[in-house]
Amino acid sequence: MNLSHHESNGVVVVEVGKGDAVSANAQDFKNRLLEFVENGKRKIAVDLSNIEYIDSSFLGSLVSVLKRITDSDGGVKVFGLAERVRGVFELTRLYKVFDIHDDESSAVKSFTDA
Amino acid sequence: MNRADTTRHEMRTSSATENLAKIRRFVRRAAEERDVPEKIVEQMILAVDEAASNIIRHAYRHDPGGEILIAAAFEDDRWIVTLRDRGVGFDPNNVRRPDMATYLKERRVGGLGLHLIRKLMDEVDYESGGDDYNQLTLTKNIAG
């Protein structure tokens, strides 16, 4: 899975590359995000705008990272959800767990507003 | 369509995570037989994908040498997909429905797949161990 990242106002913005967010790459995704956490990054915004399909394994990885980062007083936001990806967040009710934003600027700003 | 005219699509694959993409393509191809709304196709793909993931993870415990048999057919306005495996069976009634209030607190990442399947499908039936197979039957009404 292709992941790229940059920092904006102290927030690590992780762009998930084009493809499916599924069990085949969920563990890799989780490990790479946890590397940020281990390196002291506690504010992460995940850009899912390139993703057309997501399964529960990938959502489970996001939950694991959120749990780890929440323990250390940080947060994970997600943004750029396509309609069908947003539908899966709604069916699993994970929209109640994740702070979901339309775009990067809104996600990054939400950390400073908190 | 007369039930006797229904084409049955079948695939046999091994329990490797890499095969999930193949399984998703199989479901999409099976849908081409009928004028199935795209949203329903996507729902069935996700439900079958989650079911196959569960077979790989729980029935075969990540052993890629297990066998998964998938069959798809239409009966009137019902789209029926069955998944069979020879792995460890389970009682779906014993799988807790995830409580999102405690989900994060307990880092409970299991059970989401079955929860999704139940939300996406009109009927979900599971038989464990009969005829040496476990069989999950997913049914979706395509009439809308």
pLDDT beyond 80 at B118: yes
- Asked whether residue B1 is domain-assigned, the answer is no
Which residue of B56, B57, B100 is in closest CB contact with A97? B100
* B34 within domain boundaries: yes
Q: What tokens were used for B99? A: 């409580």
C-alpha pair distances (Å), A53 with each of A23, A89, A95, B42: 11, 11, 16, 9
| pLDDT confidence tier of residue B132, bands split at 50, 70 and 90 | confident
- Classified as helix, coil or strand, A63 is helix
**What does residue B3 show for φ and ψ, rounded to 5 degrees?**
-55, -35
Banded pLDDT at A113 (limits 50, 70, 90): confident
| B18 touches A: beta carbon within 8 Å | yes
Predicted pLDDT at A95: 84
The confidence score (pLDDT) of residue B4 equals 47
A52 lies within 8 A of chain B by CB: no
Question: Terminus-to-terminus CA distance in chain A, angstroms?
Answer: 31
User: Across residues A57-72, what is the average pLDDT?
Assistant: 85
What pLDDT digit, counting tens, does each position of A34-60 carry?
999 999 999 999 999 999 999 999 999
Task: Give yes or no for residue B110 having a pLDDT over 70.
Answer: no
Q: Is the pLDDT of residue B103 over 80?
A: no
Q: pTM of the entire structure?
A: 0.84
Min Cα–Cα distance to chain B from A85, Å:
11
Given strand B78-85, what is the order of strands in its sheet? B9-14, B67-75, B78-85, B134-141, B123-127
Q: What is the ipTM of this complex?
A: 0.76
The Cα B91–Cα B85 span in angstroms is 15
Q: Which domain holds residue B124?
A: 6-141
The interface residues of chain A toward chain B in range 12-31, judged by CB-CB distance below 8 A, are 20, 22-24
Cα-based torsion angle of the residue sequence A41, A43, A49, A50 in order, rounded to the nearest 10 degrees: 10
Q: In this structure, is residue B126 part of a structural domain?
A: yes
Spell out the domain ranges in chain A: 3-107
Residue to substitute from B58, B109, B116, interface A, most A β-carbons within 10 A: B109
pLDDT, tens only, A72-106: 667 999 999 999 999 999 888 888 888 999 999 99
pLDDT score at B1: 47
Task: Give the class (CATH, top level) of A3-107.
Answer: alpha beta
CATH number, domain containing residue B100: 3.30.565.10
**How many domains does chain B fold into?**
1
> What pLDDT score was predicted for residue B102?
64
A57 touching chain B per CB within 8 A: yes
Is residue B124 assigned to a domain? yes
